[in-house]
Amino acid sequence: MNKKVLVAVLSTVIAGSAFAQSSKFQGAFGQIGVGYESVDPSHASSTLTVNGRNIPVTTSASNANSIIGTVALGWYQDIAKGFLLGIGAEYSPFAGSGSTMSVSTATALPGQSAITNDYRYQKKSSYNIFLSPAMTVGTDGLAYAKVGYTGAQIATYNTLISNFTGYSLGLGYKQFFSTGWYGFLEANYASYGNQTVYVNDPAGGPTISASGTNGLTSMNGLVGIGYKF
């Protein structure tokens, strides 16, 4: 066999073997994380009608900051030398601290003074289904991004429960410290969009109907530990 042909064949085999070699992060993983989250409620509009009369309404809401915990499962697949694509799902089962939403009216009925009511606005649980493009850093590190579909259960006006959905973005870094075990740092942003809640109370007094269009965004930072199976 011609020496040049032999060298070319050997080079191709070696290059192919190097390309096919899996990174340490390829495969299934599971992880848990804890951190700090800030939830920012938003208010688009409110309406209040008493006996057919429209009453001007103003609303304000404060941020809620609390500890957060998450569990996640997923899979990373090598797609090119040094690059991976992952898919995963994570769940946060813990309710955060509630914020205060204040609803005020200039007047409600003739002869009555202005009304101000404070309500609890709380993010209960949340989930996130994501894709994660990633790049290896050395042999033991992984830098990654996340783009996902997220949902959360939100308590508004003290007792009303609404299911919000939206999108999520994240950045993170993983580092192996032992066989199979890694630590990670992560920052995430989620936007849950707006949702309108309607309330009607015709019994025992004036006929009252009200609506409020509310939304929220959240940001969190996580640290945690995981295992690559």
Rounded percentage of the chain residues whose pLDDT exceeds 70: 76
Highest mean pLDDT among 18-32, 74-88, 93-107: 74-88
Residue 70 predicted with pLDDT over 80 = yes
CB–CB of 197/162 below 8 Å?
Answer: yes
Query: Closest Cα partner for 97 from 117, 118, 72, 67?
Result: 67
* Rounded Cα–Cα distance for residues 124 and 121 (Å): 10
What's the N-to-C CA distance of the chain in angstroms?
44
- Residue of higher predicted confidence among 60 and 76: 76
pLDDT band (50, 70, 90) for residue 107: low
222 or 198: which carries more pLDDT confidence?
222
pLDDT at 53 over 50: yes
Stretch 30-36: mean pLDDT: 97
User: Measured on CA atoms in the order 131, 136, 137, 141, is the torsion positive or negative?
Assistant: positive
Q: Are 144 and 130 in contact (CB under 8 A)?
A: no
pLDDT score of 20 more than 60: no
* φ, ψ (nearest 5 deg) of residue 74: -170, -170
Q: pTM score, two decimals?
A: 0.77
Give the integer Cα–Cα distance in Å for 133 and 143: 9
